[in-house]
Amino acid sequence: MATRESTQAASGSAQVETGLPPTDRQLLAQAVGKALAETYVLYTKTQAIHWNVVGPLFYSLHKLTEEQYENLAEAVDELAERIRALDAPAPGSFGEFLELSDIRETREKQTAEQAVMMLCADHETAARTFRNATRQATDCEDVVTADLLTDRMAFHEKSAWMLRALVQESAVERTVPSRAAADRPRPS
């Protein structure tokens, strides 16, 4: 009688037994695959802007996009490895990434401000994708995937904010108490 181990060794593959049903793993691998695709497309767009930016925003945008594309490059590997841990193949061609991603490549000439707002919109698109994938991971009770996706979602939200702030009119925003609040008696 063959044991499970001998059967797996003979077939060349080991069955994944992490507590997630195969259907959940497949669903999650698809969700993480879309997140990986968005990350990869955004990585290439960010790097292209890093290389090609000119003008008054050059230094700040060059530095910011470098930080962002380095972070995105690390994320690509983490996301692909999570897909493999879920026992699915990770997408691996630019064509697959473009098919899966809602972020579109662009070849049109843009001002630095237009490029910044494009990246901002792309990070917001990625944040929505990661939020949806996080919900799926939470529904499947996969805290490992949910944790990874939550961290990545936070990165995309912060990146969108930083990019948006780069092209907004110069100001220091702060909350000013309303007149009514200023007129209230203060406790002694």
What pLDDT score does 11 carry? 41
- 9 pLDDT band, cuts 50/70/90, is very low
Q: How far apart are the C-alpha atoms of 123 and 62, rounded to whole Å?
A: 17
Helix (H, G, I), strand (E, B) or coil at 160: helix
Domain 19-167 belongs in CATH node 1.10.260.40: no
What pLDDT score does 17 carry? 81
- 14 pLDDT band, cuts 50/70/90, is confident
Q: How far apart are the C-alpha atoms of 117 and 112, rounded to whole Å?
A: 9
What pLDDT score does 106 carry? 87
- Nearest Cα to Cα of residue 62 among 53, 72, 74, 71: 53
Residue ranges per domain, the chain? Answer: 19-167
Q: Which positions ≥6 away from 49 have C-beta within 8 Å?
A: 61, 65, 115, 119
- Nearest Cα to Cα of residue 38 among 123, 148, 120: 123
pLDDT in tens, 128-156: 999 999 999 999 999 999 999 999 999 99
- Nearest Cα to Cα of residue 112 among 163, 76, 176, 186: 163
- 2 pLDDT band, cuts 50/70/90, is very low
Higher pLDDT, 56 or 35: 35
What pLDDT score does 7 carry? 39
Q: How far apart are the C-alpha atoms of 66 and 63, rounded to whole Å?
A: 5
